[in-house]
Amino acid sequence: MTIGAIIGYTVLALFLGFIAFLIIRTISARKPKPPESNYVPNDIDDTVVDNLVEAIKHKTITMPNNDQDGSVFLEYQAFLEKAYPLIMKNSTKYVINKYSVIYAFKGTESDSLLPIAILAHQDVVPAPAKDWGFDPFGGEISEGYIYGRGTQDMKGQMISALDGLEFLLREGKKPARSIYFCFGHDEERAGIYGAYEIVKFLQQRDVRFEFVLDEGGAIIDGKIIGINNKVALVGTCEKGYADVTLEVEKLGGHASTPTRRTAVGLMSQAVYKLEKRKMKPFFSEPVKEMFETLAPYMNPLFKFFIVNRRVFGWLLKRVLTIASPFTNCIVRTTIAPTQMFGATTPNTLPPVAKANVNCRINTGETIDDLTNHIKKVVGKNIKVTVRDGASNPSLVSSPDSPAFKMIGKTVYEVFDGFIMAPYPFIATSDSKYYHVLSDNVYRFTPFEKEESDANRIHGVNERLSVNMLKTATQFFIRLYENTCFDDFSVPKRKSLVSNHLY
């Protein structure tokens, strides 16, 4: 046998051995044992439906600033306090910055167990009646759906969370762990008057939470990633946020005698470049954790590539960035042009052209990384300014905490065996402020929605099915049972009196 043949066979043997190693690694990724459970679903009556219908009728539209008349928020809170008498009877109310509110429900063992925080925002985005098939603030029910602004974002979740605890109290059950309902009033404008002030208030009083739960991850059809089940994605963090203004100055004048390069033309070119030269994709730690959790449930082909992503990472990144907008945004910072401004009349060359790009910053990158990329792409002739309200990605909470596992157990029980996985929440929420109050801040919306419903959030004909609202209520009932009663797996920890507001 020649030396060349020996080398060839050696290379082949090494290659086959490497493939065998990858296959063995794939096979070794096995599904975890399902949690043991004695869960029996509760029968939920139409009270929760009636409460959401009434909640929708309160036009709690986000105010531009905190100096406006926000009496509608006070009326909304009065409705909540009437609708949930058992919660309110054992709660202390704290009004924060005029229109945000904390309802601190005292548990029977509040001196020895850290409380939990359930977040929701009272405010909703505007809903012009044009193009709606229903009154956006009418709370109308049609063919099994409740229509109205806020059904999904996020009065539906707020009402189901409150109804869940009220249900347990009506049955005579009393949670050992305290439950804080923290309801901001300006989440749709970054929560600077609401959630930020709530956190500052709690921080000044040394309040700590076992875990925090806010809106966030959705329930998706696992078939898009090779899983024959539904997957509940629970955010362990959220992407950063920035609105960036691009501005260029150029000689203006009459449109009949345009200059060689116009301000609008230069701005259009800059926006085009940003859409072509995107920031590089990469696997953040939360994405890696998501892959590790989901890989055992995938079909053999998907599983092979995901388990061996260190080898096939270059291919996976390319596939994910082109497969769908959702898979693209979980692996990279996104830059989306949303507004352009030029002349106020159609026959004028504007001396200044501006554009806004809305950016969602991937975990592991910063506002500085974003602005450096934008400046490099658009060139020195374009002024780049980060607008107020920008934030870096949040801290990342552990998917290994007892609290996270209990959320997963609750999902498995209530949603008939659905899988739960951590992931980086691609939008923003009030919860970004709460990491200073807890190591365990999670984001999950317990609604199994139809694909068409995704575009209804902030859009026309926003709706939520009656069945899904009732299932979400079951979710919160079971979450409280799993985490706020004596059987929660977190060891009891003696906490200082200052850990509570009582």
Which entry of 153, 163, 186, 187 is annotated as an active-site residue?
187
Does the annotation count 123 as an active-site position? yes
Tokens 């602005």 correspond to: 371
* Residue that is written with structure tokens 């949930």 in the block: 84
CB atoms within 10 A of CB 46: 12
Both tokens of residue 55?
């909640």
| Helix/strand/coil for 131 | coil
Three-state secondary-structure class, residue 209: coil
d(Cα 281, Cα 271) in Å, to the nearest integer?
20
Distance in angstroms (rounded) separating the CA atoms of residues 34 and 104: 34
Nearest to 157 by CA among 493, 489, 468, 496: 468
Q: How far is CA 300 from the centre of its chain?
A: 30
For residue 199 the two structure tokens come to 């956190």
Tokens representing 492? 């009891």
> In this structure, are residues 403 and 488 in contact, taking their beta carbons and an 8 Å threshold?
no
Cα distances (Å, whole numbers) of residue 246 to 170, 316, 444, 481: 56, 32, 34, 51
Rg of the chain (C-alpha set)? 26
Position of tokens 């959702």?
326
**Alpha-carbon span 309 to 469, nearest angstrom:** 38
What positions carry a catalytic annotation?
123, 187
